[in-house]
Structure 1
Amino acid sequence: MSKAKAVSKAKMESITQVVPTVPLDVRVTQWVAMLSAVVSFTLLAYYLRLYPVLLYGWYINEFDPYIRLFMTEQMLKYGTIKGLFWWLHKGYGALFTHFWYPWGVNWTVVLSPGVSWFGVLAYKVLSHLGFDLVQSVVLLPAIANAAVVPAMFYLGYRLGGKYVGLLAALWSVFSTMLLQRGTAGWFAAEPLFQFIATLGIAFYIESLIRKDNYWILFAVLSAIFNGITTWVWGSYVFLWNFYGLFTIVILLYLLIRIARRQNLPFTIDKLVITYVLTDLGFSAFVAITPRYGFHTLISGMGGVANAALLFSIIAYALIKLYPRYPRIMVPIIRYFLMAIVVLVVAVIGLSFTSIGGKFLGALAPFARSAIVQSVAEHSPSTLQQSMYNISITIPFMIYTMILSIMSLSLPVILISLGSLVAAYFASSEVWLFMLLGLFWVPAAAYGFVKLTELALNRRIVIGLSLAALLGIILAIALIVNIQPALSMSIMPQQIVSTVTPPIPTPDWLDALQWLSYNTPPNATVLSWWDYGYWIAVIGNRTSLADNSTVNGTQIALIGNFFMSNPYNYTGVLEKLNELHDPQYILIFEPYYIYGPVNMTNYGLGSICILIPEYPAGGDFAKSYWMARIAGYTNNYILNTFIYPAPVGSSTIYVPYANNTFYAAYNVTLYSLMFNSEVVSASYAVWSTCTVNNIPAYWIFEGVPTIMPGASLTSAKLTYIGIPGYNGPTTPWSLLWYPPPWAQLVYVSRPYGWVIIYKVNYSLLNALARNQTLINQ
């Protein structure tokens, strides 16, 4: 042994001897403290997510969860296991006829079973504590989303240690990326997916970093948990393809090194085997799910994922053969790298021909259909939304990516690459921030901890100063997230507040109860598709379209009817016949009652002003998309139905006709909304205006705002909207009546925002015959 080597060995031995071991009691104390923190974070997260129930009651939120509740009830008829088998056997041909009249629908081939099945499991457990089915499914999303906190601790811990885990868990409590659909009542895919997928990613990383033989167990767990995501949310395709992308990137890097005759920095056995098992997990669950089936494995994003699997297996074989046959394998690998570029482009291009709907819209925003564009959650993200979600953590994220390149750590590369790819999709569609949180939260936590460690390794003064600065940035990042998180946690469920900004009101509950008790059991209800689930599940009446949007032709027919001329009786009858003669028409239009206002200067005296879409969220605002989906061009819509008017930095839409801003006579939807019968039947208008003999007028030309007077001691009424507008020009709108074939039968209380008409087919047929005779 040389003298230099002997000295080096002695130094290493001395270093080994002086490294102190942490006493057992200290380690136990550390773990007790960490687990106590995680439990505290989890309880805080659960309390935050439970707030809607504490404030407003046991209501399911939004629209989609109601079909999940309906299918949970169907599964419960068979039991926990038999109910799942019933679903996987396509419901034995079950056809639910009070949806999508007149055809009905088999929900077991339209939806995935996971959410409803977990609802069954939740009820089986929580019923022993006295909770009924609705209460159980209301609690389930809050429980699942709070469980993301310990799952995120585990993910962060395996990624970068206990401090990364603690920070990731803490941020998970308030992260809007996780919270926005995680509150009680959101009985939908996202809260369950986020919990299951977080564990799936954690198990995937665990299998990559373990040094013992138990890594294969975690690879199997990764396959199971990632596979289960296919039963929960359609965004499983992101994870499925992302794991393939991650593996391809690593294998391509190794192949390039071989092609350049460089040494390999690590072995790939665990990497490839874990990926193969995980891909098989996805494929197995996809194949047995009626919504997808075997054809999904070779088409669309499933075809892309399995093409990545094939590439990985071939690349793995080439890399394993290289040490034995280096001279032969180097040129083969070079040709393989050239061929793979062409093959990947071809496979992706061919696969995209079978991708549609939301998936294609997320990949290529320009390819979104009108129905996809009409949903607010599919709109591109704004800078404000991005700041709400990722706050000011970008420096931490950048440092994590730098470390992934410098260290070639597979877990850090995985979490960094996932953050980059998910960030692209989140910028494309705002709802996909829920996906970004799975990667961004642990990645940013990792970057912060590593930056802090780097700072503390400097000189004491400089190190402490840098660490303090980082702590301040982290605190600001958390504070930026806390405010919108608290706002989300106190937001009322949509069934009690279907407007923006949210105003709690029982209008919809009142309307659906009226529909259930005052219409025949076989009654069919025509409405815009947003309310289909509520009508069919809560109102227990047959709807023509719903939120599944499985029949775009039917939705286009409804849009065409609403935007048709209500006094072209022949045309109305033809359109209703195309929709198989629905008996009732339901419309939702929120408005604000402003006044009484003294309008003596306009010759009106004191009046009440009714402002549609103030708050927003009704069918008037949606009428643009009704027309678009019906097939009208954008120019035709803006020159016939509605016109954009600037309001500050945003835009509102007002009815348009004959170059004058007022509610157009020739649109069925508007004539059913804005008429004297609706106004006189509204309890809110009556109690505010009519009882005092004050007339009420619809105003479309602007939004009334109290502005300070010149002396700043007085105020005046100003209309913000169309430039130069100073007062009402549509007082004659009260002379309107709904078309004679539409009989007003219900206006909701207290605000009168939900309106129901009964179609008088006898009168409509007579009017259509007379109109035909006159035209002849």
Structure 2
Amino acid sequence: MYVASQMVKGNKRLSHTFEILILVLIVVLCFIIRLFSVIRNESIIHEYDPYFNYKLSNLLKENGLYSFWNYFDDMSWFPLGRATGQTLFPGLMITTYLIHKICHSMGLFIDIKNICIYIGPVFSVFTCILTYYLTKEVYNKKGRNSGGAALIAALFVSISPAHISRTVAGSYDNESISIFLLILCVYNWIKCLKEGTLFSVVLCSLSTYFMGLSWGAYIFIINSISLFMLAIIILKKYNIKYCIIYNVYYILTTILCLNIPCINKSIFTSIEHLAMHGIYLISNLLLFCNFITNIFNLDEEKIKNIFIKICFIIFFLIFKFLIFADKLSWSHRSRTLLDPTYASKHNPIVASISEHQPTTWGSYYFDIHLVLFFLPIGLYECFKKNANIELFFLGIFTTLCMYFSSLMVRLLLIFSPFVSILSSIGLSSILSTLIEFADKPREVKLADFDENNKKPEDKCSTNNNSVKQNINNAKLETKQEHWNENENENKDVVENNCNNVIKNKIKEKKTPNEISENKSKLIIISILSIIVLLFFLGVLIILHSTWCASIAYSESNITFYSRNNEGGRYINDDIRQMYKWIKENTESDSKIIAWWDYGYQLNAMSNRITYIDNNTWNNDQIANIGLILSSNEKNGYEELKKFDPDYLLISYGGYSKNSSDDLNKFLWIIKIANKKYNFISPLLYYYHENAHPLGSNATSFMANSILYKLSYYNITNEKVKGFDYARKIEVPKIQNLKYFEEVFTSDIWGFRLYKIKQFV
């Protein structure tokens, strides 16, 4: 091991080639591990939001950027519509459009749908490579094995389950490219701290701008940089260069973000951006303080302390006035991050989304796995006394990620690349320490053996003679003692006792070289055991990540595997069957009511008018649909007349064993309706929030509600046999509907479409 490491160290070109070769293998693994969904099923787009993104990407390709930017969607949120081009993050669509243009200019005529499907795995490769260079940048110091740490970081990121969940083939969402952009922002900011050039600051601002175009988490990066500046000011680690860098970054980023329609003036009116402005003022006051002290030759330390105290008092007063006077606005998601109970109390729409729930330890273990165990060592490397400023920033950023990921499970995605980087630094630190310790010379320098400046051969012979003489003397002394005490004792016993004493004295007279050799063997065995243990943990991480990629995160909610009552496996394709039937058998101007989860898919795959969708921008309209679903037939029909719909779509999982159907969401539907209509109380439908009073135990409000009746209508036929397999209950007969007519039910009863009768 020592010889091999010295050979690699001695040949930099060989070392670099070896690193690049390993990085290529990691990149290949990163790409292919995300293709399980395509290999096992087919090339399709997953989930709900990606279908909306695909629809707009297709629109951008067909009509160009100007039409896309000013697009108004009159087929969603009927009758209000939505100014789509001004209310979304267009970065993903623009990136897809540019890739499509580049491919066609090179003669590669790739359909835009395939680009949408594979953009996640492609950008995960870019993320993996950038993670490698970021780790080398922050951990590059004399005596450190930055290449090894960088390769481990690239491996951890490439197989991180949290990262895989958003970058598998078919996952066409904002996060598919935004994690790469997030790491790019961090990388460019670290380059700013290191180089301090105008070019590096411009690159950092541009990457933040593109992050703002693509995902709402741009707020996280600008606030993290602001908090880092605040930390180095408080700890007095700042200098003039850092203040100037931040000022240029602030000005450029603010100007660029003003040109993003979905951000625009909110950069000045929302509390999420307040820290950015405050730190800008403080940094300029510090620059002014430095100017004053240089002009008038004042005590710099004293003046700075006074200025810092004044700045913080002013900033605190402004912050307090703006927040408590309601001059600035919070977004619901930001409030949820500061107060995890806020959404459940004040905004059930946000609370109903599983991604917005607080993170459990099980989620950490599942999505981060054993990589998390090495994080404390990486944080120690960042915050120890002699750590460089780049590592210090990375430590602050990762700590913020760790805190916010505990409040919202979707933020594990942001945490995963940085826990991978710091864990790789921690693991590399352990391995480097062990290998350096094992590579130390085994010879022990002893002053007693160097006094006469003898040759090694003379020393060895002298040592051997002295040992032999000591053994003979010990033998004679021991024999004499025993013969004097008892001359009649058995001679064999005396000899045995003599031999035992001689062995003990031989042990006492062992040479330091022999002791050193034994200790070296013990140390090497211990080090090898630790390395084998770490290798075993690495294998467990890879196996777990592969399982997550192939099973947990490659199952599409469009087509997925289910099992029938006999245990047979079949593909559940109800969703596409229903949307295809709607597209082919209903009028092109048909208006369909469905819960907001299915709005994007219904609009994109069936090309029909919808009332609510996954954008959830109008809480009142969502509450109106909740009121309709929770009302009885007569009252619900009166409410339906106000919207003039043609059909009502219900998701039912009682036969296909789908636990995410509308009945399981009914509690949230009622809570959302209750925010506008106080007479819709969950206690009228549920005995307790965690109970399911369905079937024979259903309350009168539950049994008469439209959602309940349309889900269980004609459920007692020969195929379904009146049993709800998802909730494991028997269902009473519901045969007569006055205001609704069943027009289509999918093969496995996953979706049911009802026509709303006119003039009843």
TM-score by length of 1: 0.78
Pair 1:377 & 2:355 matched? yes
- The alpha-carbon distance between structure 1 residues 523 and 354, as it changes in their structure 2 partners (threshold 3 A), is same
Equivalent residues in 2 for 1:31-110, closer than 5 Å: 31-79=16-64, 83=65, 86-87=67-68, 90-91=69-70, 94-110=71-87
Pair 1:26 & 2:20 matched? no
Q: Which has the larger radius of gyration?
A: 2
Match of 2:637 among 534, 548, 573: 573
Task: Give 1:107 shift.
Answer: 0.7
Supply the distance in 2 between the matched residues of 1:417 and 1:243 (Cα, whole angstroms). Answer: 9
| SS class of match (1:240) | helix
- The alpha-carbon distance between structure 1 residues 438 and 702, as it changes in their structure 2 partners (threshold 3 A), is closer
Supply the distance in 2 between the matched residues of 1:591 and 1:339 (Cα, whole angstroms). Answer: 62
Residue aligning to 2:121 = 142
Name the aligned partner's letter for residue 572 of structure 2: T
Pair 1:540 & 2:511 matched? no
Task: Give 1:741 shift.
Answer: 0.6
CA offsets 1:330-371 (integer angstroms, 9 cap, x no match):
156335325515624742773585012222212321221100
* Superposition CA RMSD, Å: 3.2
Supply the distance in 1 between the matched residues of 2:649 and 2:541 (Cα, whole angstroms). Answer: 41
CA offsets 1:297-320 (integer angstroms, 9 cap, x no match):
343312332222222232344356
Residue aligning to 2:233 = 251
Residue aligning to 1:697 = 722
Residue aligning to 2:757 = 760
Higher strand share: 1
Pair 1:666 & 2:704 matched? yes
Supply the distance in 2 between the matched residues of 1:463 and 1:317 (Cα, whole angstroms). Answer: 58
CA offsets 1:657-699 (integer angstroms, 9 cap, x no match):
8x668993221100010121x554xxxx63xx7xxxxxx1235
- The alpha-carbon distance between structure 1 residues 546 and 402, as it changes in their structure 2 partners (threshold 3 A), is same
Supply the distance in 2 between the matched residues of 1:644 and 1:455 (Cα, whole angstroms). Answer: 57
Supply the distance in 2 between the matched residues of 1:363 and 1:499 (Cα, whole angstroms). Answer: 39
CA offsets 1:512-542 (integer angstroms, 9 cap, x no match):
0011111111100000000001111111000
CA offsets 1:426-451 (integer angstroms, 9 cap, x no match):
11000001111232211111122123
CA offsets 1:689-747 (integer angstroms, 9 cap, x no match):
7xxxxxx12358963xxxxxxxxxxxxxxxxxxxxxxxx6x56x12x125311000010
RCO (CA 8 Å, sep 6+): is it higher in 1 or 2?
A: 2
Pair 1:524 & 2:591 matched? yes
Name the aligned partner's letter for residue 686 of structure 2: I
Residue aligning to 1:586 = 649
Residue aligning to 2:547 = 486
Contact 1:565 1:666 (C-alpha < 8 Å) held by counterparts? yes
- The alpha-carbon distance between structure 1 residues 45 and 469, as it changes in their structure 2 partners (threshold 3 A), is same
Supply the distance in 1 between the matched residues of 2:393 and 2:524 (Cα, whole angstroms). Answer: 30
Name the aligned partner's letter for residue 359 of structure 1: S
Name the aligned partner's letter for residue 107 of structure 1: T
Name the aligned partner's letter for residue 653 of structure 1: H
Name the aligned partner's letter for residue 561 of structure 1: I
Supply the distance in 2 between the matched residues of 1:126 and 1:529 (Cα, whole angstroms). Answer: 36
Runs of 4+ in structure 1 off by over 6 angstroms are: 20-25, 498-503, 632-636
Pair 1:509 & 2:576 matched? yes
Name the aligned partner's letter for residue 170 of structure 2: G
Residue aligning to 2:449 = none
Pair 1:563 & 2:630 matched? yes
Residue aligning to 1:259 = none
Contact 1:628 1:634 (C-alpha < 8 Å) held by counterparts? no
Name the aligned partner's letter for residue 572 of structure 1: G
Supply the distance in 2 between the matched residues of 1:620 and 1:636 (Cα, whole angstroms). Answer: 16
Equivalent residues in 2 for 1:601-612, closer than 5 Å: none
Task: Give 1:47 shift.
Answer: 0.8
Pair 1:172 & 2:157 matched? yes
Q: What is the percent sequence identity of the aligned residues?
A: 19
CA offsets 1:207-259 (integer angstroms, 9 cap, x no match):
3234xx8x4433322221122100111011001111111111111211xxxxx
Name the aligned partner's letter for residue 319 of structure 2: V
Name the aligned partner's letter for residue 310 of structure 1: L
- The alpha-carbon distance between structure 1 residues 499 and 120, as it changes in their structure 2 partners (threshold 3 A), is farther
Match of 1:628 among 667, 671, 681: 671
Supply the distance in 2 between the matched residues of 1:738 and 1:481 (Cα, whole angstroms). Answer: 55
Match of 2:216 among 219, 222, 234: 234
Supply the distance in 2 between the matched residues of 1:69 and 1:524 (Cα, whole angstroms). Answer: 22
Equivalent residues in 2 for 1:457-468, closer than 5 Å: 457-458=436-437, 461=520, 462=523, 465-466=526-527, 468=529
- The alpha-carbon distance between structure 1 residues 229 and 470, as it changes in their structure 2 partners (threshold 3 A), is farther
Pair 1:397 & 2:375 matched? yes
Supply the distance in 2 between the matched residues of 1:121 and 1:486 (Cα, whole angstroms). Answer: 34
Supply the distance in 1 between the matched residues of 2:174 and 2:156 (Cα, whole angstroms). Answer: 22
Residue aligning to 2:660 = 617
Task: Give 1:457 shift.
Answer: 4.0
Supply the distance in 1 between the matched residues of 2:622 and 2:118 (Cα, whole angstroms). Answer: 33
Task: Give 1:629 shift.
Answer: 0.2
Name the aligned partner's letter for residue 364 of structure 1: D
Between stretches 341-350 and 230-239, larger displacement belongs to 341-350
Pair 1:358 & 2:337 matched? no
Supply the distance in 2 between the matched residues of 1:500 and 1:321 (Cα, whole angstroms). Answer: 77
Contact 2:652 2:658 (C-alpha < 8 Å) held by counterparts? no
Supply the distance in 2 between the matched residues of 1:701 and 1:164 (Cα, whole angstroms). Answer: 47
Match of 2:285 among 314, 317, 332: 314
Supply the distance in 2 between the matched residues of 1:463 and 1:348 (Cα, whole angstroms). Answer: 60
Between stretches 473-482 and 231-240, larger displacement belongs to 473-482
Residue aligning to 2:274 = 303
Residue aligning to 1:347 = 319
- The alpha-carbon distance between structure 1 residues 499 and 505, as it changes in their structure 2 partners (threshold 3 A), is closer
Supply the distance in 2 between the matched residues of 1:668 and 1:319 (Cα, whole angstroms). Answer: 71
CA offsets 1:566-586 (integer angstroms, 9 cap, x no match):
2xx2x22331133x1111000
- The alpha-carbon distance between structure 1 residues 552 and 592, as it changes in their structure 2 partners (threshold 3 A), is same
Residue aligning to 1:201 = 186
Contact 1:492 1:504 (C-alpha < 8 Å) held by counterparts? no
How many residue pairs match? The answer is: 651
Supply the distance in 1 between the matched residues of 2:157 and 2:272 (Cα, whole angstroms). Answer: 29
Contact 2:57 2:94 (C-alpha < 8 Å) held by counterparts? yes
Pair 1:495 & 2:538 matched? no
Equivalent residues in 2 for 1:449-464, closer than 5 Å: 449-458=428-437, 461=520, 462=523
Contact 1:388 1:480 (C-alpha < 8 Å) held by counterparts? no
Task: Give 1:656 shift.
Answer: 7.6
Name the aligned partner's letter for residue 672 of structure 1: L
Pair 1:292 & 2:263 matched? yes
Contact 1:200 1:226 (C-alpha < 8 Å) held by counterparts? yes
TM-score by length of 2: 0.79
Supply the distance in 2 between the matched residues of 1:487 and 1:78 (Cα, whole angstroms). Answer: 39
